[in-house]
Amino acid sequence: MKTKIKEHRKELKMTQEELAEAVNVTRQTIIALEQGRYNPSLILAYKVTKTLKKDHIEDIFLLENEDLNTKT
């Protein structure tokens, strides 16, 4: 999953550590999120979105190359 965490965090002049503290995770989790190596829970995605002062999770987290119409 791609994210815009880093861009929005830098707009707010927020460090990875400050964001991590605000959403109650480790700095390593923020690094993994920014690098697209970790898919957050819905609750964490919501907390990150609100902390970065955005209204919609989709403003921060982007699904990449997923066919949402896949049959199961």
Per-residue confidence band for 71, with pLDDT thresholds at 50, 70 and 90 = very low
Write down the pLDDT at residue 65: 64
Report the C-alpha gap between 43 and 15 in whole angstroms. 21
Alpha-carbon distances of 12 from 16, 21, 30, 72, rounded to whole Å: 11, 15, 15, 41
Rounded to an integer, the average pLDDT of 27-40 is 96
The full set of domain ranges for the chain reads: 2-62
Rounded to an integer, the average pLDDT of 62-66 is 71
CATH superfamily of 2-62: lambda repressor-like DNA-binding domains (1.10.260.40)
Above 50 in pLDDT, residue 49? yes
pTM summary value: 0.85
Alpha helices in the chain (DSSP H): 5-11, 16-23, 27-34, 42-51
